[in-house]
Amino acid sequence: MTEAEALPRRRGGWFFNNPFNNPVAIKELRGRMRGARAFIMLSVYLLLIVGFTLLLYVISTASQDVFGFSSGGQVGRALFTGIVGLQLLLVTFIAPALTASAISGERERQTYDLLRTTLLPAHKLAIGKLFSALSYLFLLLIAAIPLQSIAFLFGGVAEIEVLIAFVILSVTTIALGATGIYFSAAQNRTLAANITTYAMTLFITIGLPIATLILTLLFSSLLSAGGADTSAEVQIALLYGLVALAATNPLMAASLTQSWLINKQSAFFFYETVTSTTGVIQVPILSPWILFGAVYLLVALILVIRTVQRVRSIEE
Amino acid sequence: MPELAFESSGSALPAESAPVVDETDLIIETRGLVKRYGKLTAVNDLWLRVPRGAIYGFVGPNGAGKTSTMRILTTLMLPTAGQAYVAGYEVTKNPRAVRRAIGYMPDYFGVYEDMKVWEYLDFFAACYEIPESSRSQLINDLLDLVDLSHRRDDMVDKLSRGMKQRLCLARTLVHDPQVLILDEPASGLDPRARVEIRELMVELARMGKTIFFSSHILADVAEICTHIGIIEAGRMVMQGSLESIRRQLAPHREAVVTLLNRAEEAKSVLSGIQGVLAVAELPEEGGRKRLRIAFEGEDALLSAMVQALAAQGIPILHFSEQTQDLESVFMKVTKGIVS
């Protein structure tokens, strides 16, 4: 009997397999939602956002003069930005906590060998772990949408902003989840996996924004200082450099997207006028959140593939 | 006339239920297997032969290379050199086919704390691609087999060590494997749990499974094994069926007869029987005379000796064949070295 006869394989690409047909995903979801832990975490998460929203509301309405909020729209925008910012911060801390122990935990619990001697393919193990962690993280994100929507009561926030914010949060969550899973597979110990995942997360959410902010300010000042004297090529390069820098991290992508949304009234694509000694050129610009989304999803995919390869590899 | 007592210290499996083993039909085979960790050679040119249907005890001191061999056979580790075959599949070339053929229980294993007993088996059944529709009955049958039906809805971490071991054994069976590879299945268990695991292994052998297990506990191995392999410093120093190993180590068979009296007369009667090589008097025990008989021949010769003594009216209290216990075999073939 050949192996092909003995071992029928499921058809279809592994990436598109139904996650609910994945025993690891089902086990993890069942375990995660069992008991009070999942609900306590969700409640604490929402209470933190509620508390922060109330605080922002009280400050912005009682001290309008101090903060210069002259309209309800600005209050709404402040609330929305604050809530999304806090969600990003919370996801930054929760995503690694849910994923960095996913595979290293199996090794430490001495269940990894049991799994690896079953017929469970490596991709199902990795995807199942990631899927269950992301499911819970998305539950947190979706549960906070009504709180984000409070901003609509004050005006100043468009529906498209809420959608873009959700996309940026979702993509960040997926990328951080994939980072956690990758380090969890790459490290044998959960502690080491946690440290490397948090180090990478902090680099993405704090280090990169600071670095890119400095470069952005530099680019912007170069663009405005040079004005028409700067050559068109340099101006275009600086403009695209700005978009590329913003796409490296969620904070910059969100703030530049919002800024261009207000100033250029475009959430996707617009033309920027570049004036130089040679004339006026219309430069096509893609809103940074789109590039950010594409880059982070690509990185997440690469990390998942590397995770699968790591899980599939046999000890030498 | 005193009651006769015949004893044999062979396998505990009753003759009618002992698995029929074809020594040429190998379900596990390694050819010159080598495993090195840096400068340390854990497995050194190992030639392992496990016949289908055998209960094969893999015996050796700590660090002899048992676990490394098992990890290679279970596709968890790559060999440095040599080949390993399980159920006809080369482990490095067809790991998926090997995984389908084996049920593996490592020496140390964990359980998922947040699962119920039935969920644990259901999860692993799903990992082995058992259709959901047939899992419920399968789980019930397995829990019955390992006597854990009454704990079906309990959380796994509430089970005792012995129960977890039995649950893990049930887990190895969810996909009806041909061979069970069990690394120290009785280690760390209390005497009762050890007996239960041993009985389960015998039961599984009766169901047609080949059982390949490692153990430090020679009494357990001697109790249930049909075959043994003794490994030392990564090399197989001896392997085969228990009987063949005993025969290899002892050039002839031995019996001891205990008499009420007339030892000299018995000695001359026995010496006259064809096939008896020598008869020697042993020190008395509680006033009873004892003779050691060295002989070459089949079991009929044992019967002839008893009949000859009885025909002369010599009062026999006890007559038994002396077989070498596994501990003496082990001590004889190993040198006490580890790799």
Global ipTM: 0.81
Instruction: Mark yes or no for CB contact B94/A26 under 8 Å.
Output: no
Q: What is the mean pLDDT of chain A?
A: 84
Closest-CA distance, A303 to chain B, in angstroms, reads 23
Query: Which of A27, A110, A119 lies at the smallest CB-CB distance from B99?
Result: A119
pLDDT band of B8, cuts 50, 70, 90: very low
Query: Which of B99, B109, B127 lies at the smallest CB-CB distance from A23?
Result: B127
Q: Identify which of A211-220, B12-21, B104-113 has the greatest average pLDDT.
A: B104-113
Residue B150 CA to residue B292 CA, distance in Å, equals 52
What pLDDT does residue B35 have?
A: 95
Residue A33: closest C-alpha in chain B: B114
Residue B321 one-letter amino acid: E
Residue A124: closest C-alpha in chain B: B127
Query: Which of A26, A30, A110 lies at the smallest CB-CB distance from B109?
Result: A110
Instruction: Mark yes or no for CB contact B115/A27 under 8 Å.
Output: yes
pLDDT band of A237, cuts 50, 70, 90: confident
- Between helices A72-99 and A159-186, what is the axis angle to 10°? 20
What pLDDT does residue A227 have?
A: 57
Q: Is the pLDDT of residue A7 over 50?
A: no
- The residue among B37, B114, B122 with the most chain A CBs within 10 A of its CB, best to mutate, is B114
Beta-carbon pairs below 8 A across chains A and B: 81
Residue B114 one-letter amino acid: D
Instruction: Mark yes or no for CB contact A111/B111 under 8 Å.
Output: yes
Residue of higher predicted confidence among B20 and B307? B307
Helix (H, G, I), strand (E, B) or coil at B179: strand
Residue of higher predicted confidence among A227 and B140? B140
Residue A83 CA to residue A143 CA, distance in Å, equals 12
Q: What is the pLDDT of residues A62-101, one digit of tens each?
A: 766 555 555 667 778 888 888 888 988 889 889 999 999 9
What pLDDT does residue A183 have?
A: 95
What pLDDT does residue A119 have?
A: 94
For residues A143-148, average pLDDT: 86
Query: Which of B76, B104, B128 lies at the smallest CB-CB distance from A119?
Result: B128
pTM of the model: 0.79
CA distances from B79 to A303, A308, B59, B75 (A): 29, 22, 20, 10
What pLDDT does residue B16 have?
A: 42
Residue B129 CA to residue B210 CA, distance in Å, equals 22
Closest-CA distance, B39 to chain A, in angstroms, reads 14
Identify the weakest region by mean pLDDT among A114-118, B16-20, B315-319.
B16-20
Instruction: Mark yes or no for CB contact B109/A116 under 8 Å.
Output: no
Question: Quick one: which of A278, A271, A75, A99 has its CA closest to A186?
Answer: A99
The answer, for A119 touching chain B at a CB cutoff of 8 Å, is: yes
For residues A117-126, average pLDDT: 94
Instruction: Mark yes or no for CB contact B104/A315 under 8 Å.
Output: no
Determine the Cα angle at B249 with ends B319 and B258, to 5°: 15
Q: Identify which of A60-74, B67-81, B236-250 has the greatest average pLDDT.
A: B67-81
Beta carbons of A116 and B76 less than 8 angstroms apart: yes
What pLDDT does residue B30 have?
A: 95
Closest-CA distance, B331 to chain A, in angstroms, reads 33
Query: Which of A23, A110, A117 lies at the smallest CB-CB distance from B75?
Result: A117
Residue B163 CA to residue B156 CA, distance in Å, equals 9
Query: Which of A3, A30, A119 lies at the smallest CB-CB distance from B127?
Result: A119
The answer, for A115 touching chain B at a CB cutoff of 8 Å, is: yes
The answer, for A109 touching chain B at a CB cutoff of 8 Å, is: yes
Q: What percent of chain B has pLDDT over 70?
A: 91
Residue A312: closest C-alpha in chain B: B76
Residue A316: closest C-alpha in chain B: B78
Q: Other C-beta atoms within 10 Å of A293: how many? A: 22
Sort out which chain B residues have CB atoms less than 8 A from A35's CB and list them.
114
Q: Is the pLDDT of residue B60 over 50?
A: yes
Q: Other C-beta atoms within 10 Å of A199: how many? A: 13
3-state helix, strand, coil in chain B (%, to 5): 35, 30, 35
Query: Which of A7, A110, A117 lies at the smallest CB-CB distance from B74?
Result: A117
Q: Is the pLDDT of residue B17 over 80?
A: no
What pLDDT does residue A32 have?
A: 87
Sort out which chain A residues have CB atoms less than 8 A from B168's CB and list them.
114
